């Protein structure tokens, strides 16, 4: 069939032609936008889920919706090795410049710029290739203590007050939020606490791996009052069928029922897998309807593509010992793996696994759904590990 017309788009952050099964969480975002614009308080949103479930795509959809409703948006993607301050400062400066160009009194905006300058100075950001270039004296004593948990709330308050003075609401969207350290997450939480107390028009929408456990302890109940954590998971079978069928129907193509059911079963409803199956079966079919034979025939090519483009991301950066750790997890079982069971399997002490465990969490390969448990951040990753290292223990 016509490759140019292929309606599927497998790929990190690639928008699907139909965003299926997410109406409820999109509605939740709309309510948040609407309420905060009217000066009412509402919980910010942190979308949590495994890789490939569609968090980035949702965050982008929410960003567009916020803009449609008149919000100024800032969208950043966290990295393993870039600080929150470094990511946010230039974007906040651009926002303040934009506010500065609007009609009206400038004092709040000038103040926010001066606070930002102090903030940048105190954290010794080196904008080597990106001069901060704010032509103002920094405001002494605001957001310049060097302690992010004090400074970020002060800075964001100044920004929110500047926006409020222009009748503008601000949405900060942060993807891959799990990469931030505890101090940075805590600084964000404290900032949102201040926003809510003062009912200022600045909200946070985040997406990332399930990080609630990392907000545990003291800050947890506090975080739960400020944030909703809608879990983003695989699509229900009915939505999975829709995610395959609707895009092809629009082009006059259909699947035979058993072909559709087979794909729903094999993908387990995970959006990334649905896109890849849709894409490849479209490519390989001669004509409509797409049959079970086409689905079966496409399987090995799809597995290979997923291995290369989805599972292998970040995999080649792992050490042999880290790969063995992951292979061991696959051996322990499909559900969350207890670290004690893994130690037993690998015939080592639990304590000796800690550095590897920490490194794999840092690299975004695994996470801890609850204390003492570990799971892969990528769905069906255990099967990939078995394909990579078939024998256990490896020869
Ligand atoms: N609701 C959905 N329906 C169909 N496909 C989707 C949906 N959400 C995401 N996808 C597809 O899934 C893939 C992964 O989406 P992405 O947003 O990158 O996931 P994540 O950020 O959770 O890793 C993309 O190819 C995207 O087109
Ligand atoms: Mg993503």
- Give the rounded percent of residues in the chain with a pLDDT score beyond 70: 95
Q: Find tokens 């309606």 and name the residue.
A: 7
CB 89 within 8 A of CB 130: no
Q: Is the pLDDT of residue 23 over 50?
A: yes
pLDDT digit string, tens, across residues 186-223: 899 999 999 999 999 999 999 998 866 566 455 667 78
Q: In this structure, which residue's CA is closest to atom 16 in ligand 1?
A: 54
111-119 mean pLDDT: 92
Q: What pLDDT does residue 104 have?
A: 84
Q: What pLDDT does residue 142 have?
A: 83
Output 161 or 86, whichever has higher pLDDT: 161
Task: Give the SS3 label for residue 358.
Answer: helix
Q: What pLDDT does residue 395 have?
A: 75
Q: In this structure, which residue's CA is closest to atom 19 in ligand 1?
A: 54
Tell me phi and psi for residue 172, to 5 degrees: -100, 120
| Strands laid side by side in the 337-338 sheet | 337-338, 373-376, 366-367
Strands (E), the chain: 44-48, 72-77, 170-175, 202-208, 227-228, 337-338, 366-367, 373-376
Task: Give the SS3 label for residue 255.
Answer: strand
Q: How far is the CA of 55 from the centre of ligand 1 (A)?
A: 7
Pocket test for ligand 1, best of 25, 178, 271, 278 (most atoms within 8 A of CB): 271
pTM assigned to the model: 0.92
Ligand 1 neighbours, Cβ below 6 Å, are 9-16, 19-22, 49, 51-57, 243, 271-272, 274-275
Q: Is the pLDDT of residue 33 over 50?
A: yes
d(CA 223, CA 212): 9
Q: How far is the CA of 275 from the centre of ligand 1 (A)?
A: 8
283: region left, alpha or beta (phi > 0 left; psi from -120 to 50 alpha): alpha
Which of the residue ranges 90-104, 128-142, 330-344 has the most confident prediction, judged by mean pLDDT? 90-104
CB 163 within 8 A of CB 198: no
Cα separation values, 64 from 40, 74, 87, 318, Å:
21, 11, 20, 36
pLDDT digit string, tens, across residues 239-289: 999 999 999 999 999 999 999 999 999 999 999 999 999 999 999 999 999
**By C-alpha distance, which of 320, 229, 235 is closest to 278?**
235
Confidence class for position 122, pLDDT limits 50, 70, 90: confident
CB 286 within 8 A of CB 253: no
What residues pack around ion ligand 2 (CB closer than 5 A)?
56
pLDDT digit string, tens, across residues 334-372: 678 999 999 999 999 999 999 999 999 888 899 888 778
d(CA 62, CA 15): 12
d(CA 102, CA 92): 16
pLDDT digit string, tens, across residues 44-68: 999 999 999 999 999 999 999 999 9
Angle subtended at Cα 243 by Cα 239 and Cα 248, rounded to the nearest 5 degrees: 140
- Give the rounded percent of residues in the chain with a pLDDT score beyond 90: 73
pLDDT digit string, tens, across residues 150-176: 999 999 999 999 999 999 999 999 999
Question: What would you measure as the largest C-alpha separation in the chain, in angstroms?
Answer: 72
| Distance from the first to the final alpha carbon of the chain | 44
**By C-alpha distance, which of 80, 76, 159 is closest to 119?**
159
In a 13 Å sphere around the CA of 211, the CA atoms on its Cβ side amount to: 25
73: region left, alpha or beta (phi > 0 left; psi from -120 to 50 alpha): beta
d(CA 349, CA 181): 27
Q: Find tokens 């926006």 and name the residue.
A: 163
Residue-averaged pLDDT of the chain: 91
132-154 mean pLDDT: 84
Q: What pLDDT does residue 290 have?
A: 98
- The b/e string for 230-239 (b: 16+ C-beta within 10 A; e otherwise) is bebbbbeeeb
Ligand with the closest atom to the CA of 77: 2
Q: If you ran DSSP here, which 8-state letter would residue 4 be given?
A: G
Confidence class for position 129, pLDDT limits 50, 70, 90: very low
Q: What pLDDT does residue 323 have?
A: 96
291-308 mean pLDDT: 96
Q: How far is the CA of 272 from the centre of ligand 1 (A)?
A: 5
Q: If you ran DSSP here, which 8-state letter would residue 231 be given?
A: B
């Amino acid at each position: 069939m016509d490759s140019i017309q292929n309606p599927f788009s497998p790929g990190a952050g690639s928008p699907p032609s139909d965003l299926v099964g997410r109406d409820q969480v999109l509605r939740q975002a709309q309510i948040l936008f609407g309420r905060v614009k009217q000066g009412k308080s509402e919980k910010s949103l942190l979308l949590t889920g495994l890789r490939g479930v569609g968090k980035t795509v949702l965050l982008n959809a929410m960003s567009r919706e916020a803009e449609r409703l008149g919000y100024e948006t800032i969208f950043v993607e966290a990295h393993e090795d870039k600080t929150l301050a470094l990511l946010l400062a230039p974007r906040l400066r651009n926002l303040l410049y934009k506010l500065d160009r609007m009609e009206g009194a400038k004092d709040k905006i000038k103040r926010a710029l001066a606070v930002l300058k102090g903030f940048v100075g105190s954290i010794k950001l080196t904008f080597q290739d990106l001069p901060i270039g704010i032509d103002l004296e920094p405001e002494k004593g605001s957001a310049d203590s060097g302690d992010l948990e004090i400074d970020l709330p002060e800075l964001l308050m100044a920004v929110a007050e500047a926006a409020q003075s222009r009748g503008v609401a601000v949405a900060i969207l942060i993807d891959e939020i799990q990469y931030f350290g505890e101090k940075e997450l805590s600084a964000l939480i404290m900032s949102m606490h201040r926003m809510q107390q003062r009912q200022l028009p600045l909200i946070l929408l985040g997406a990332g791996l399930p990080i609630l456990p990392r907000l545990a302890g003291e800050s947890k109940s506090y975080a739960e009052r400020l944030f909703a954590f809608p879990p983003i998971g695989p699509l229900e079978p009915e939505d999975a069928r829709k995610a395959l069928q609707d895009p092809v129907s629009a082009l006059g193509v259909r699947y035979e029922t058993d072909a559709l059911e087979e794909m729903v079963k094999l993908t387990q409803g995970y959006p990334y897998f649905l896109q890849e199956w849709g894409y490849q079966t479209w490519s390989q079919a001669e004509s409509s309807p797409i049959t079970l034979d086409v689905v079966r025939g496409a399987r090995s090519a799809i597995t290979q593509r997923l291995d290369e483009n989805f599972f292998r991301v970040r995999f080649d950066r792992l050490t042999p010992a880290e790969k063995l750790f992951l292979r061991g997890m696959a051996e322990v079982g499909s559900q969350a793996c207890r670290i004690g069971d893994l130690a037993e399997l690998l015939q080592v002490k639990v304590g000796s696994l800690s550095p590897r465990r920490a490194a794999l969490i840092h690299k975004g390969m695994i996470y801890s759904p609850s204390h003492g448990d570990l799971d892969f951040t990528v769905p069906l990753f255990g099967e990939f590990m078995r394909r990579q290292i078939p024998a256990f223990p490896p020869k």
